[in-house]
Structure 1
């Protein structure tokens, strides 16, 4: 029987329509959380909700569409969550996109700006409005989704790397600013996790044989495999729980040992 760490707790998740957001929503629902799920795509949000209710039919869930690059939309999903539940105990600030592959001098300027807008500005807007609520409450737990690309360089991904380094900086800044108010702000730095976003990236690099590319990529990881979304979800759940109350301002890699290597193999 799963330990119900989140009974009567309200957790807000962005990017909940797929990938790490969906896996975390499923994990937290199994632990009793009341959920506010946000994504740009209502169809995928309802898929997430349906999967949750199959196994946890009594869980309270609201689904909200929002574009995280629009500050008013972000304020709206926070306001709607408060209107429904009256509080926000945990926030998985997760929505993001992958972007294309090219060296810095050849990278598309518009795509670079879009990555900064979604992956960095969207995280900032979420922090801006959720921190205000948690400060009034005198308690709260936030997890921002960074990446291993936020703690080292990645070949041919300058926009993604720049945005995720920014997320790491925001995490540390907010942590020291709000710790005295009972708020913990941490980040996760996933390595290659078998989500639709990663698979889509492999397909963009080699559409004819993306599975071989994925296998070759996994060979460069000490664990010799890609990570699973549910493995990330369990880490997020821990950081959003009271068990992590004295962990603050850290960004935790979850990468199968990849960050412990001296170098990262180039994937053709």
Structure 2
């Protein structure tokens, strides 16, 4: 097993990608703590995964104390933290820049950027205590190029790449690796929301148009992204840090 005797913390763990990663990591031998805002959603995810290696902790990633508590809970339950998937994120609204309200902009930045930064600040001391670890940040293909009507989301996903590169250099000597995964459109609730924002009431029309632009001809499934995360979390990627992994079916080629 690729993650035997390791402990992973996954933010956004009740959602599509987070849940798929939790299931896969547990199958590969890890103890997994999933974190999200809703206790009901977290409990449902744990029940769905059906593994006694997976537990949960209600966490608001925009709150420093919550991040510290999340890592402390993982250490108390499992002894150490070896892996962090900084995966929590929101899409915000689909609107032109001049129509975008400040409160929504601030919320996107708080979750997608500050939430990642706080998670790193909380987990790095734990990883230093256990002589290293792997941090995988969920960015997006929207972090590799711009797109109309999603400027705050795209900005946030560019920002975490800069954060990743800086932190990777700061802590490489301590055997802490930091990388991003940049997914293409994935079959999740977030993409349904974005499709509806692009063309309200259009049904599958937007989905089909997006698929036409993807060389591999489909959206990713959450497990497609989770497999890339597994590689980066595992010792197979022991010489990889500061890197951006586009998992996008050729979309950014």
> In the alignment, which of 157, 176, 180 is matched to residue 150 of structure 2?
157
User: 1:130-209 maps to which residues of 2 (within 5 A)?
Assistant: 130-209=123-202
Q: What displacement does 1:62 show?
A: 2.1
The CA distance in 1 between the partners of 2:139 and 2:228, in whole Å, is: 13
* Matched residue, 1:9: 6
| SS at 1:258 equivalent | coil
The CA distance in 1 between the partners of 2:34 and 2:201, in whole Å, is: 35
> In the alignment, which of 106, 118, 133 is matched to residue 113 of structure 1?
106
> In the alignment, which of 17, 20, 35 is matched to residue 20 of structure 1?
17
RMSD: 1.1
The CA distance in 2 between the partners of 1:209 and 1:44, in whole Å, is: 28
> In the alignment, which of 80, 98, 115 is matched to residue 91 of structure 2?
98
> In the alignment, which of 37, 40, 44 is matched to residue 43 of structure 1?
40
| Aligned residue pair count | 253
Per-residue CA distance 1:73-101 (angstroms, 9 max, x = gap): 11111111111112001110100001111
The CA distance in 1 between the partners of 2:182 and 2:203, in whole Å, is: 24
The CA distance in 1 between the partners of 2:230 and 2:239, in whole Å, is: 15
Per-residue CA distance 1:141-192 (angstroms, 9 max, x = gap): 1100111111211111111011111100110011000000011101111111
Q: What displacement does 1:205 show?
A: 2.9
The CA distance in 2 between the partners of 1:32 and 1:133, in whole Å, is: 20
In 1, are the aligned partners of 2:22 and 2:54 still within 8 Å (CA)?
Answer: no
Which of structure 1's runs of 4+ aligned residues deviate more than 4 A?
Answer: none
TM-score (norm: length of structure 1) = 0.92
Gaps of 5+ in 1: 261-268
The CA distance in 2 between the partners of 1:242 and 1:131, in whole Å, is: 18
Gaps of 5+ in 2: none
The CA distance in 2 between the partners of 1:97 and 1:85, in whole Å, is: 29
In 1, are the aligned partners of 2:83 and 2:133 still within 8 Å (CA)?
Answer: yes
TM-score (norm: length of structure 2) = 0.97
| SS at 1:143 equivalent | strand
In 2, are the aligned partners of 1:26 and 1:51 still within 8 Å (CA)?
Answer: no
The CA distance in 2 between the partners of 1:210 and 1:254, in whole Å, is: 25
**Is 1:52 aligned to 2:49, yes or no?**
yes
Q: What displacement does 1:204 show?
A: 2.9
* Matched residue, 1:63: 56
The CA distance in 2 between the partners of 1:141 and 1:249, in whole Å, is: 11
